[in-house]
Amino acid sequence: MTLQLPGTHPGRTGLDRVLAAPSRTILVSDFDGTLAPIVADPDQAHVHPHAVRVLGRLAGRLGGVAVVTGRPVADVLRLGGFEEGDGLRGLRILGQYGAERWDAGTGEVVTPSPHPGIEQVRCALPGLLAGLDLAAAHIEDKGLALAVHVRRLPDPDRALTSLRDPVAALAAEHELVVEPGKLVLELRAPGTDKRSAVHSLLEGGELDAVVYAGDDLGDLAGYDAVDEVRTGGGAGLLLCVRSDDRTTLEQRADLVLDGPGGLLDWLDALADELSHPEHVRPAGVDDATVEALGKLSEALEVVEDARGGLYHWHRMSGAADLAAGAAVDQLRAAGHAELADRLAAELIGRNVVEGRWTFQVVEEYDDGYYAAFKRLEAEARDALAGGRRHLFEAEMKQSRRTHGSRHHEAQPDDRR
């Protein structure tokens, strides 16, 4: 699959930044409806079969990969199989909108104590639903939050409308907030949402670009965080995973994709674009440094041209000496021995410069000025860019080529 381009200017700018500096980029994805298809029973959800492989590819190419979800971390690990995924040691899962955290590197889950209002709402919810003749609605107990699902009811839209105000009143009574989703209302502690979760992933300043993928109203807060990153000078790309429902998420997205499969195909294509890290700037390398190293590389290319000219002079001088030797033999054969002897004595094998044949000049140039220039240019790249070459040109190529078009591939092996 070729990489489909965003339809907005901020989205295209964000993609250019991702391609130019993937080590400063984090992919943040929702789980349900984004990496896993929506199902009537949340306990029966299953991650898309390509999710672990694709996230593993990107984890080795981006500065970070994270899943931010309303589910508890334990559910995501059970349903996603992320603990066994190849290349996912850098994955982070922020469960319950960031209240819970899991890091693949340690395998530990950090969980705070539940808000006191959760227990009170846990006791009150069944009675509230029964009073509304909605006892068949499914209550999902997440420990730190409670979610009321109406998807399995005969008229889920009507049920959701009937629930909104009573649930909001119950939440306010116990100092909780309500998070709406696709045919679900979730009650949880204030101060935990996808906006704050995204910003927490950017703490430390090493990451300044975000690719965010979501599918429903709960992801609007994540979109808000990306907009704030853009306002602060960073870059962002907003992906919306389209489902049967139409949400305001699509209106704000830079690119809309069809279902979890469409998202993972796009992310797989992104991984293809990023499959050559030798031309990607390391984290922390700024634009001025890349430009300066590019100028030093340009200077070395001029030296290489000069060296080529020197070798041309060396070869031509040698060819001239051999041709002169052949002329001496022909003059002697033609009866001009005295002239032939003089040419042989004074010209054949003569030093081109004082004390040196051309090979000696070439060797002195190679071992002196040329070797010093090569060594210092390499040391500059090693010190400032991890030894990576042509970063300035590689980023220029990424910005100037037409992504996804024939004859504009990033590398020869990118053509399918």
Would 362 be classed as within a structural domain? yes
Per-residue confidence (pLDDT) for residue 416, from 0 to 100: 40
Domain boundary pick from 168, 188, 208: 188
Would 136 be classed as within a structural domain? yes
Q: Which domain holds residue 44?
A: 9-113+191-279
Per-residue confidence (pLDDT) for residue 415, from 0 to 100: 47
Per-residue confidence (pLDDT) for residue 283, from 0 to 100: 60
Statement: residue 263 has pLDDT above 90: yes
Q: What is the average pLDDT across 91-107?
A: 91
Domain boundary pick from 231, 253, 279: 279
Would 236 be classed as within a structural domain? yes
Q: With the C-alpha atoms ordered 372, 373, 375, 380, is the resulting torsion angle positive or negative? A: positive
Q: What is the pLDDT of residues 172-209, one digit of tens each?
A: 999 999 988 878 899 988 888 899 999 999 998 889 99
Q: Which of 237-246, 267-276, 322-331 has the highest mean pLDDT?
A: 322-331
Would 305 be classed as within a structural domain? yes
In this structure, are residues 226 and 198 in contact, taking their beta carbons and an 8 Å threshold? yes
| Number of separate domains in the chain | 3
Would 31 be classed as within a structural domain? yes
The C-alpha atoms of residue 47 and residue 29 are separated, in whole angstroms, by: 13
Q: What is the average pLDDT across 354-366?
A: 96
Share of residues in the chain with pLDDT > 90 (%): 64
Q: What is the average pLDDT across 247-274?
A: 90
Q: Is residue 13 domain-shared with residue 142, that is, in the same domain?
A: no
Per-residue confidence (pLDDT) for residue 192, from 0 to 100: 83
The C-alpha atoms of residue 264 and residue 268 are separated, in whole angstroms, by: 6
Statement: residue 160 has pLDDT above 50: yes
Per-residue confidence (pLDDT) for residue 1, from 0 to 100: 56
Mean per-residue pLDDT of the chain: 90
Domain boundary pick from 188, 214, 233: 188
Would 55 be classed as within a structural domain? yes
Q: What is the pLDDT of residues 286-328, one digit of tens each?
A: 889 999 999 999 999 999 999 999 999 999 999 999 999 999 9
Residue 2: pLDDT band (50, 70, 90) is: low
Per-residue confidence (pLDDT) for residue 21, from 0 to 100: 85
Share of residues in the chain with pLDDT > 70 (%): 95
Crossing angle (nearest 10°) for helices 9-20 and 391-400: 150
Tell which wins on pLDDT, 292 or 21: 292
DSSP string covering 55-88, please?
HHHHHTTSSEEEEE-SS-HHHHHHHH-GGG-TT-
Per-residue confidence (pLDDT) for residue 403, from 0 to 100: 63
The C-alpha atoms of residue 235 and residue 21 are separated, in whole angstroms, by: 11
Q: Is residue 293 domain-shared with residue 254, that is, in the same domain?
A: no
Tokens of 195: 């906006």
Crossing angle (nearest 10°) for helices 287-333 and 358-365: 170
Q: What is the average pLDDT across 266-287?
A: 79
Residue 235: pLDDT band (50, 70, 90) is: very high
